[in-house]
Each structure stands twice: as structure tokens, then as C-alpha cells.
């Protein structure tokens, strides 16, 4: 049964059992309506209320309001946003710089490449607007001897490669690299990037959203697939600063053709269109929004004793990560943590077992006592422990104990 299994999968990830129990009832008979929630119209009053409540909870958790930010629910995962930010923000650049756009310019976009996901996002931008319009501010592989991800250079090393905010459509980074176990330390790099107020900062927070506090006002766009810290697969949360959305909307509520060199945004990626429709331009999976809403409401219930829900979640996330890294560091003859210490992810703990062939044995031994989902990503191998919000402290304690016992036996 669920209680005997501790799941550390990288996404989809575990959800709180009480959330799943509530959702299970709704799958058959939502609120005693005699209908399943998956049978209800996305345009019903009921669905509208579910959407609104999830948006409100999310804004409250990130300490933002509808006056300054708009929350969109979109399909297509984080991957769709790799394309959507490019289409929308090059259009925004053209709207802000009509004369330059009329002269055939299209501006640049800039990427900090720290792992597999930001690398994929940069590749997509190159496909859409051409390599010559994509400025890779740095690729952290160039800062390591192994030429692999696992490090982030200090801002002093790459700041000089940034373009001026007015020449750049946006600068993009991935706050937590799920595959490589690399996370930007809190407040970085956004504080450096925000030094130029004209710069629009885009962050992929798919795998660490609502695991620590952040200053939403500094970001132009934040996106996150729900399937890690928020809910089930099927919806992506996009948060846009209202000044950006307003200017984008001035181009037309359906995507316009601005100039020949600026690509027209496909309608399902056009933020003004989705926003104007209240995220219901087409049939949104409301059941997934419902699950997200339940998880968000549950998190908000922690809002007490002068400490916000997110601050409390942050403490818990940090504590769980520390429990694991402490054992891994204690037995450094047995385990090797892959990323550099200063940029170790609190969400995805990636390590190797030094003895050849022992990783399969470790994974199998874990499975036998109900510790599952520990295999590293197929592209990098090794072990990966994903420590998302719904992973209980007790599950982490059990895993830390297994790491300890395994190491002692192997010494």
C-alpha cells in the first residue's frame, strides 16, 4: 500500500495522499453533483471557481497579487514554454522598438546554460529565431574539466557577456536543473540580471517552484509544469508581470504579424489570447487544475505563526536536503555527489556510487524496503533522489538511514 512506499521519482512525483483521496472522490462524483469532475464542462461555474481558487492560492503563496501578476494555466508542459517565451517576447521587443523592428532588427535573447533543460530551451530559441539572435551568456560545461554540467560560474565571470536590456528581448535561465542536480543559490542570478531594469527575466522553475521564497516582482515570466511540486501532469503554471502582458496585448488579442522577421506566435502559445480567455481558450484539463488547487490550499494551511507557508516549506525542503547530503558527505569513500557543493540542488540530489557496478545493487536494495524512484536520468546515469514538497520528512529519514547502512556495509 501507499504507506509502505517512499517515492523519490523526478516527475511525475508523489502527491499528498489526502489530496489524492479527495481527488479520487471527485473522479467519480464531484461535490455530490452525480458527475465526475472530468465530465464537467470547463466553462461551468464550478470549473471557473476551481480555476480562480487555484490562481488565487498560487499568487498568495508566491506573495504576489492580481494587480501585478497574471497566472495562466496552459497545456504542453514546460517544453511548450521553451517556444512560447521566444514567440511572445520577440513580439514584445518589436512592440517596444517599432522603428528598429521596421528596419529589420529583431533583438536578441540570452540564455544562461547550466544543465540539460536550459540547453534544450536555448536550442529551441536557435531553431525559432536563428542562432545569430541567441546569445549564450555562458555554458557551464565550459567551466569544468570534465566538460559536463555540475557547476555555475560566479556572476563576475559572465556578467560582461550580457547585452543591454533594451537590445535583448529577454534573458532566460533554469532555476533548478532536474537532470544534473544543479540549483542556483537563492537570489541568484536574478539579482545580478535585475541590475538593468529594462531586462526581462524569464525563469524555468519547473522543478523547484514553491520550495523557497523569491521576489516575483523581479521576473518577467516564470513557468513551471505542475507535475513536480504542484500537482499532476497536464497543466503548466505561467506567471506574467502585468506590464508585460498589457504591452503584449496592445499588439492585438489574437497574435499579429508585426514585421517579416518576427515570427507570428501560434495562438495556443499567445499569452494575451490565453489570458483574455481566462486560460479557457480551449478545453483545459480542469481535473488537473483541481489537484493543483488542493495541493496549494493544503500548503497555504501552513500559513501561521508569523511565518508564511512558503517560508515554512523552504525550511522543510532545506532540512530534508541536508539530511541526505550529510550522509553522502560523511561516506565520501562510497558516494560521490556530482555537482559542486555551492550549487547542489535541494530538489534533485544526484550522486554516484564509486564502486563499479554497485548502483544497480543500491537501487535494488532500496526497492526491497520500499524506497523507489532512485535511478538517475538515462542521459547521465547514477542515482538521483528527488526531494519535492510532497516527499515526507519520514521518507527522507528512512532513505538517509538506508544510505548510512549501505555505506557501513560497503566500507
Angle made by CA atoms 167, 171, 172, in degrees to the nearest 5:
160
Residue nearest to ligand PMP (CB): 77
| Residue matched to cell numbers 555554458 | 139
Q: Specify the 3-state DSSP secondary structure of 187.
A: coil
Q: Does 272 bind ligand PMP (CB under 6 A)?
A: no
Q: Does 117 bind ligand PMP (CB under 6 A)?
A: yes
Q: Which of 16, 77, 263, 382 binds ligand PMP (CB under 6 A)?
A: 77
Q: Could you tell me if 365 and 406 are in contact, meaning their C-beta atoms sit under 8 angstroms apart?
A: yes
Q: Which of 70, 91, 168, 207 binds ligand PMP (CB under 6 A)?
A: 207
Nearer CB in complex with ligand PMP: 46/385: 385
d(CA 294, CA 300): 10
Which residues neighbour 40 within 8 Å (Cβ) at sequence distance 6 or greater?
30, 33, 46, 47, 286
Q: Does 273 bind ligand PMP (CB under 6 A)?
A: no
Nearer CB in complex with ligand PMP: 40/206: 206
Q: Could you tell me if 236 and 339 are in contact, meaning their C-beta atoms sit under 8 angstroms apart?
A: no
Q: Which of 183, 204, 288, 314 binds ligand PMP (CB under 6 A)?
A: 204
32: left (phi over 0), alpha (psi -120 to 50) or beta: left
Q: Could you tell me if 74 and 238 are in contact, meaning their C-beta atoms sit under 8 angstroms apart?
A: yes
Which residues neighbour 275 within 8 Å (Cβ) at sequence distance 6 or greater?
70, 72, 240, 245, 249
For residue 381, report the phi and psi dihedrals to the nearest 5 degrees: 70, -160
200-208, 254-262, 278-286, 395-403 -> range binding ligand PMP (CB under 6 A): 200-208
94-102, 103-111, 204-212, 362-370 -> range binding ligand PMP (CB under 6 A): 204-212
Q: Which of 162, 174, 202, 209 binds ligand PMP (CB under 6 A)?
A: 174
Angle made by CA atoms 72, 275, 273, in degrees to the nearest 5:
125
Q: Which of 107, 220, 225, 339 binds ligand PMP (CB under 6 A)?
A: 225
Per rule CB under 6 A, count of chain residues that contact ligand PMP: 11
76-84, 246-254, 307-315, 333-341 -> range binding ligand PMP (CB under 6 A): 76-84
Q: Which of 53, 79, 97, 318 binds ligand PMP (CB under 6 A)?
A: 79
73-81, 286-294, 320-328, 333-341 -> range binding ligand PMP (CB under 6 A): 73-81
Q: Does 373 bind ligand PMP (CB under 6 A)?
A: no
370: left (phi over 0), alpha (psi -120 to 50) or beta: left
Q: Which of 13, 47, 114, 178 binds ligand PMP (CB under 6 A)?
A: 178
Distance of CA 273 to the CA centre of its chain: 23
Nearer CB in complex with ligand PMP: 79/249: 79
Report in angstroms how near the CB of residue 379 gets to ligand PMP at its nearest: 12
Binding region for ligand PMP (CB under 6 A):
11, 77-79, 117, 174, 178, 204, 206-207, 225
Amino acid at each position: 500500500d501507499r504507506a509502505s512506499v517512499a517515492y523519490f521519482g523526478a516527475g511525475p512525483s508523489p502527491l499528498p495522499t489526502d489530496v489524492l483521496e479527495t481527488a479520487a472522490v471527485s473522479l467519480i462524483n464531484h461535490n455530490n453533483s452525480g458527475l465526475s469532475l472530468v465530465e464537467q464542462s470547463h466553462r461551468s461555474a464550478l470549473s471557473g471557481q476551481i480555476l480562480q481558487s487555484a490562481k488565487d492560492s498560487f499568487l498568495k503563496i508566491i506573495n504576489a497579487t492580481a494587480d501585478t501578476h497574471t497566472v495562466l494555466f496552459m497545456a504542453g508542459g514546460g517544453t511548450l514554454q521553451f517556444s512560447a517565451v521566444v514567440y511572445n517576447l520577440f513580439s514584445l521587443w518589436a512592440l517596444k522598438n517599432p522603428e528598429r523592428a521596421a528596419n529589420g532588427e529583431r533583438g536578441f535573447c540570452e540564455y544562461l546554460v547550466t544543465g540539460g533543460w536550459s540547453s534544450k530551451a536555448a536550442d529551441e530559441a536557435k531553431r525559432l529565431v536563428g542562432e545569430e539572435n541567441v546569445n549564450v551568456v555562458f555554458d557551464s560545461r565550459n567551466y569544468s574539466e570534465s566538460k559536463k554540467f555540475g557547476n555555475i560560474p560566479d556572476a563576475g565571470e559572465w556578467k560582461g557577456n550580457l547585452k543591454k536590456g533594451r537590445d535583448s528581448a529577454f534573458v532566460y535561465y533554469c532555476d533548478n536543473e532536474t537532470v544534473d542536480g544543479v540549483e542556483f543559490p537563492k537570489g541568484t542570478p536574478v539579482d545580478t540580471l535585475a541590475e538593468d531594469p529594462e531586462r526581462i527575466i524569464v525563469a524555468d522553475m519547473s522543478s523547484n517552484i514553491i520550495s523557497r521564497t523569491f521576489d516575483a516582482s523581479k521576473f518577467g515570466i516564470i513557468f513551471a509544469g505542475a507535475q513536480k511540486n504542484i500537482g499532476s501532469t497536464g497543466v503548466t503554471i505561467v506567471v506574467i508581470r502585468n506590464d508585460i502582458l498589457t504591452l503584449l496585448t496592445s499588439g492585438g488579442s489574437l497574435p499579429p504579424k508585426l514585421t517579416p522577421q518576427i515570427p507570428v506566435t501560434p495562438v495556443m502559445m499567445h499569452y494575451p489570447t490565453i489570458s483574455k480567455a481566462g486560460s479557457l481558450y480551449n478545453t483545459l484539463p480542469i481535473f488537473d487544475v483541481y489537484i493543483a488547487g488542493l495541493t496549494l490550499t493544503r500548503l497555504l494551511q501552513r500559513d501561521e505563526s508569523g511565518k508564511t507557508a512558503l517560508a515554512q516549506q523552504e525550511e522543510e525542503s532545506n532540512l530534508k536536503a541536508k539530511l541526505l547530503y550529510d550522509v553522502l558527505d560523511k561516506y565520501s569513500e562510497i558516494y560521490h555527489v556530482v555537482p559542486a557543493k555551492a550549487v547542489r540542488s535541494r530538489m534533485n540530489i544526484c550522486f554516484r556510487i564509486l564502486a563499479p557496478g554497485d548502483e544497480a545493487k543500491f537501487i535494488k536494495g532500496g526497492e526491497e524496503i520500499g524506497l523507489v524512484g532512485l535511478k538517475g536520468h538515462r542521459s547521465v546515469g547514477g542515482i538521483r533522489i528527488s526531494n519535492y514538497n510532497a516527499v515526507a520528512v519520514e521518507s527522507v529519514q528512512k532513505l538517509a538511514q538506508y544510505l548510512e547502512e549501505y555505506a557501513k556495509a560497503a566500507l
